[in-house]
């Protein structure tokens, strides 16, 4: 059975072919529709890369590796491009369903008056058609595994619910892997939650940022050759879940940027070899800081030492 692995795009892009096209800038400069935006991303042939080569980072390297497996095909759910095959060509871009980003799709005038800008923008990218229906109807015997963050799942959930309602997605061919299942309750029965404790497993261990795709890799590799892969995948998931103790969270202390910089300065040199080792040391002290934010502050701290 062929596996269609459908995962979120990533913010890190290969920009060696040209400058990043930012969503808010494009609309500020006269772009007026989703169609014009898509044309902008395909407007310069010498500045385009396949999505397989455009994205980079830990999450994407694992996704690329899975794409090399027999019977696994990689697809992308993107706030900039919609639903796309990994071979699609595009210019480097910045558009997201993450509300904290300046290039959040809800920030452009086209979407500001809508009740849910992420759902509205997703629909506009696909001309108000279900993004996945054509593929699923063509290959009804395939498996469809969505490995994504909550914000992207919320954006696409109407299309998923439509396929569930029509019976095209069911317990034998459809699965969602996500770290947060705060999505429509009618999709919960298809969710395998990537729990924090899984990062301590030898089969999955790694960054929390890439936990979803690491779990997907483990489950796919463990089940792809089974007679009923999706059923086997769920069995393997349950075995993994039962084999690990639940994570006991320490009481954490959330600090502002200045306080984090101050705490970094107190660390011994042995913990300052990398951002990862420094962050681990702070977390051991009960100090919380998101990984991307900490990497920025760690770099800023090192820069300050040069003067």
pLDDT, tens digit (0-9, with 9 covering 90-100), for 146-166: 999 999 999 999 999 999 999
pLDDT at 249: 61
Mean pLDDT of 197-201: 91
What share of the chain in percent tops pLDDT 70? 97
Sequence-separated (6 or more) residues with CB below 8 Å from residue 74: 5, 7, 52, 63, 64, 66, 67, 85, 86
Q: How far apart are CA 259 and CA 288, in angstroms?
A: 11
- Output DSSP code: residue 187: G
Predicted confidence at residue 118, as pLDDT, reads: 96
Residue 76 predicted with pLDDT over 70: yes
Residue 172: band (very low, low, confident or very high) from pLDDT cuts 50, 70, 90 = very high
Across 271-292, average pLDDT: 86
Which tens digits make up the pLDDT trace of 6-49?
999 999 999 999 999 999 999 999 999 999 999 999 988 999 99
pLDDT tens digits along 109-147: 988 888 999 999 999 999 999 999 999 999 999 999 999
Q: What is the dihedral of CA 255, 256, 262, 266, to 10 degrees?
A: 20
Beta-bridge mates of residue 78: 82
pLDDT at 251: 59
pLDDT of amino acid 248: 63
At 253 the pLDDT is 65
Confidence of residue 289 (pLDDT cuts 50, 70, 90): confident
Res. 287: pLDDT tops 60 = yes
Higher pLDDT, 33 or 246: 33
Residue 6 main-chain phi, psi, to 5 deg: -115, 110
**Percentage, residues of the chain above pLDDT 90:** 72
The reported pLDDT for the residue numbered 286 is 80
Q: Which of 128-132, 196-200, 243-247 has the lowest mean pLDDT?
A: 243-247
Q: Which parts of the chain fold into alpha helices (H)?
A: 23-28, 34-41, 51-54, 58-67, 109-112, 117-125, 133-138, 150-165, 211-223, 229-243, 257-265, 275-284, 291-305
199 vs 129: which has the higher pLDDT: 129
What pLDDT does 88 receive? Answer: 97
pLDDT of residue 290: 84
Residues 241 and 204 sit within 8 Å (Cβ to Cβ): no
What does the domain layout of the chain look like in residue ranges?
3-243, 253-305
Task: With beta carbons less than 8 A apart as the criterion, state whether 117 and 99 touch.
Answer: no
According to the model, what pLDDT value does residue 250 have? 58
- Report, as an integer, the average pLDDT of 91-119: 93
In this predicted structure, which of 173-177, 238-242, 252-256 has the lowest mean pLDDT?
Answer: 252-256
Paired with 76 in beta bridges are 7, 84
Query: Which single residue is written with the structure tokens 């997605």?
Result: 169
With a cut of 60, say whether residue 307 has pLDDT above it: no
Tokens of 55: 């994205």
């Amino acid at each position: 059975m062929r596996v269609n692995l459908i995962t979120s795009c990533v913010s890190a892009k290969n920009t060696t072919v040209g400058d990043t096209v930012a969503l808010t800038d494009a609309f500020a400069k006269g772009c007026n529709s989703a169609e014009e935006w898509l044309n902008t991303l395909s407007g310069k042939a010498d500045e385009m890369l396949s999505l397989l080569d455009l994205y980079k980072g830990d999450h994407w390297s694992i996704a690329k590796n899975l794409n090399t497996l027999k019977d696994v095909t990689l697809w992308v759910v993107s706030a900039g491009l919609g639903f796309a095959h990994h071979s699609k060509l595009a210019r480097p871009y910045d558009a997201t369903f993450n509300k904290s980003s300046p290039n959040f799709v809800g920030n452009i005038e086209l979407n500001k008056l809508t009740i849910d800008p992420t759902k509205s923008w997703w629909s506009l990218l696909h001309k108000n058609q279900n993004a996945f229906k054509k593929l699923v109807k063509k290959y009804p015997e395939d498996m469809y595994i969505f490995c994504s963050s909550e914000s992207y799942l919320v954006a696409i959930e109407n299309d998923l619910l439509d396929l569930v309602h029509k019976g095209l997605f069911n317990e034998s061919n459809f699965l969602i892997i996500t770290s947060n299942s705060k999505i429509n309750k009618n999709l919960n029965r298809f969710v395998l939650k990537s729990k924090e404790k899984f990062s301590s497993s030898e089969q999955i261990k790694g960054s929390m940022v890439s936990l979803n795709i690491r779990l997907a890799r483990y489950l796919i590799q463990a089940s792809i050759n089974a007679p009923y892969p999706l059923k086997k995948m769920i069995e393997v998931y349950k075995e993994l879940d039962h084999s690990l103790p639940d994570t006991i969270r320490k009481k954490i202390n959330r600090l502002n940027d200045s306080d984090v910089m101050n705490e970094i300065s107190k660390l011994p040199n042995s913990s300052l070899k990398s951002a990862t080792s420094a962050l681990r040391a702070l977390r051991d002290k009960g100090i919380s800081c998101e990984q991307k934010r900490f990497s920025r502050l760690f770099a800023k701290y090192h820069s300050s030492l040069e003067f």
